[in-house]
Chain A
Amino acid sequence: MAEGAGGLSLEVKDLVTSYGAITALNGVSLSVPAGSITAVLGANGAGKSSLLRSLSGLVRPRSGSVLLDGKEIAGRAPEDVVQLGMSHVPEGRGVIAELTVDDNLRLGGLWRKDKADRSAALEEAYALFPPLDQRRKRLAMTLSGGERQMLALGRALVARPRVLLLDEPSLGLAPRITAQIMGLVRRLCDETGLTVLLVEQNARSALSVADHGVVLNLGSVVASDDPAKLAADDNLRHAYLGF
């Protein structure tokens, strides 16, 4: 991704989200500087996906604030959030199985007015993920797990996002593919200044590429530190990170 307007900063304050009686986020605050990667770690049910869903508007937070480049976006609809420059690759990828690879990718940029740049972004995504290029007309349901992850990531990139929310990209992938994806995320961040919030169960590989790490437990931030320091903290590792 050659050009790109660079990333935006993301600032979350006291975010509270609940599903009926279940509180998923209990006052989460974190801050992601523009052009950096923050890893969000935690056990199953810690509230990681809920955090991303609250940021991208898929669920409406009960209270708190989300500042995208200083602008309040909490509670905005997901179709608006993506147009403000924040793309969300959901848990399980959200590839539309009944559509072709090409349709899925095109869909990512459909909201953008600039048609020429739309197709440029599409070709960039194909260049980034050659396996997709060879399967343009195939239905997405025929793709392997790794190819689906590429498709989901490529589709988000076609929107030329300035903040990327990634929910467990390593889920179900072989370690080698996971490493490739992590490497790619790092490269995008370095080359285009993209801001990334990376949710992972696979704490070790996430921390290896992140600039900062946050650990969630039961909807609250229990640690927020340098990746190396988090990885070195034995208590934290045993209690929440599982390695």
Chain B
Amino acid sequence: MARFLSVTLGGLSGGMIYAAVALSLVLIWRATRVLNFAQGAMAMFTAYLAYKVLEHGGSYWVALLVALASGLVLGAFVERVLVRPVENGPPLNAVVVTLGVFIVVEGLAGMFFGGTPHRYPTHFSNVNYRVGDVSALAPFDIWVIVSVLVVAVLLGLLFRYTDVGLRMRAAAFEGEVARMLGVRVGRMLTLGWALAAVIGALAAVLVSPNVPLSPTSMDEVFVFGFTGAVIGGLDSPVGAILGGVGLGVLLNYVAAYAGSDLQTLSALAVLVLVLMIKPSGLFSTTATRRV
């Protein structure tokens, strides 16, 4: 029982990271109806930049800032220059473009930083708290959970209570109507991608102490984030967070009781199951969609 509780709690911080990736995918999906397959790779690249800052003696916080800022720029660039031309075309075209970005970014990372994995430092202790026989949630895990929650709440406030947030929502729901009302829709979509990439960058910095940084290190994390987003419904930010956390806990059971090598295939099983049973996601409010 104590083990079960430890495993459950242990899945929370991983789940929070998947939730962040899921949230970033949902942001992009809502804005542009594009699933960004490059999201994980882009995040990996920003984490590498942060790692370089650390190597040159920068602090954890400066490095984090560099990751977030480079995410902002990278996200805006990819949307504006590469995705914009295919946004309104057949969905497969956008998929292929983001896959292209995915390979290019991984290739660039391999060129600049090599293939050897690097363990990203934590800055917080990784020693679990103990209550009786239950041992879980190191200070680092608390940092992960809190930072993702704070970002999610800030994002919610931005969307709900600011003019920019209203413009972004309008642009995402009804681009043409928004334009008629004076909203610069293109800018809003770019901003959406940029913010999403910032969240992705945060996720990459948070996951890299546990998944050593390499050009492909975010592949699995991306798959988990995608699965979390689909569980929650690609249209629902709250669903994305719940889906990501739920998946994190579930995958921690898989790792603890079956083997960590089976995590990705388990995620695939969950993904297929959800898409077959409730394609719109477990938490989505919008009507059915075609998957």
Q: Which residues of chain A have a CB within 8 Å of any CB of chain B?
A: 56, 58, 77-79, 82-83, 87-88, 90, 94, 96-99, 103, 106-108, 110-111, 155, 159
Contact indicator A82/B181 (Cβ below 8 Å): yes
Contact indicator A77/B163 (Cβ below 8 Å): no
> Which has the most chain A C-beta neighbours within 10 Å: B167, B173, B181?
B181
Q: B163: which of A82, A108, A110 is its contact (CB, 8 Å)?
A: A110
In this assembly, does B249 line the interface, its C-beta being within 8 Å of a C-beta of chain A? no
Contact indicator B177/A96 (Cβ below 8 Å): yes
B-chain residues with CB within 8 Å of residue A90 when the two chains form the complex: 177, 180
Contact indicator B174/A96 (Cβ below 8 Å): yes
8 Å CB interface, B150-205 against A: 163, 166-167, 169-170, 173-174, 176-185
Q: A78: which of B163, B173, B174, B180 is its contact (CB, 8 Å)?
A: B180
A-chain residues with CB within 8 Å of residue B176 when the two chains form the complex: 58, 78, 94
CA distance A106 to B177 in the complex (A): 14
B-chain residues with CB within 8 Å of residue A94 when the two chains form the complex: 174, 176-177, 180
B-chain residues with CB within 8 Å of residue A98 when the two chains form the complex: 169, 173
CA distance A6 to B167 in the complex (A): 28
Contact indicator A56/B166 (Cβ below 8 Å): no
Q: B169: which of A87, A88, A99 is its contact (CB, 8 Å)?
A: A99
A79-B183, A107-B183, A110-B183 known; A99+B177 contact, CB < 8 A: no
CA distance A79 to B167 in the complex (A): 12
The 3 A-B pairs of least Cβ separation, nearest first, read: A111-B182, A94-B177, A78-B179
Q: B178: which of A77, A107, A159 is its contact (CB, 8 Å)?
A: A107
Query: Can you name 9 A-B residue pairings with CB atoms under 8 Å?
Result: A58-B176, A79-B180, A79-B184, A82-B181, A96-B170, A96-B174, A98-B173, A103-B170, A155-B181
Q: B182: which of A97, A106, A159 is its contact (CB, 8 Å)?
A: A159
Contact indicator B173/A107 (Cβ below 8 Å): no
CA distance A98 to B173 in the complex (A): 7
CA distance A107 to B167 in the complex (A): 7
**Nearest CB of A to B238, in Å:** 14
CA distance A155 to B166 in the complex (A): 14
B-chain residues with CB within 8 Å of residue A82 when the two chains form the complex: 180-182
CA distance A83 to B167 in the complex (A): 15
A98-B169, A103-B166, A110-B163 known; A79+B179 contact, CB < 8 A: yes
A-chain residues with CB within 8 Å of residue B163 when the two chains form the complex: 110
Digitize B108-145: 1 where CB-to-A-CB distance is under 8 Å, 0 elsewhere. 00000000000000000000000000000000000000
A-chain residues with CB within 8 Å of residue B179 when the two chains form the complex: 58, 77-79
Contact indicator B177/A110 (Cβ below 8 Å): no
**Nearest CB of B to A199, in Å:** 15
Beyond A58-B180, A87-B180, A107-B183, 14 additional contacts (C-beta under 8 Å) are A78-B179, A82-B181, A83-B182, A94-B176, A96-B170, A97-B173, A98-B173, A99-B166, A99-B169, A110-B166, A110-B181, A110-B183, A159-B181, A159-B182
A79-B179, A88-B180, A111-B182 known; A99+B173 contact, CB < 8 A: yes
Query: In the complex, what residue of chain B is closest to A87 when comparing beta carbons?
Result: B180
CA distance A25 to B170 in the complex (A): 30
B-chain residues with CB within 8 Å of residue A79 when the two chains form the complex: 179-180, 182-185
**Nearest CB of B to A146, in Å:** 19
A-chain residues with CB within 8 Å of residue B181 when the two chains form the complex: 82, 107-108, 110-111, 155, 159
B-chain residues with CB within 8 Å of residue A155 when the two chains form the complex: 181
Contact indicator A111/B183 (Cβ below 8 Å): yes
B-chain residues with CB within 8 Å of residue A56 when the two chains form the complex: 180
CA distance A108 to B170 in the complex (A): 11
Query: In the complex, what residue of chain A is closest to B184 when comparing beta carbons?
Result: A79
CA distance A226 to B163 in the complex (A): 44
A79-B179, A88-B180, A90-B180 known; A110+B167 contact, CB < 8 A: yes
B-chain residues with CB within 8 Å of residue A106 when the two chains form the complex: 166
CA distance A24 to B176 in the complex (A): 19
CA distance A212 to B182 in the complex (A): 29
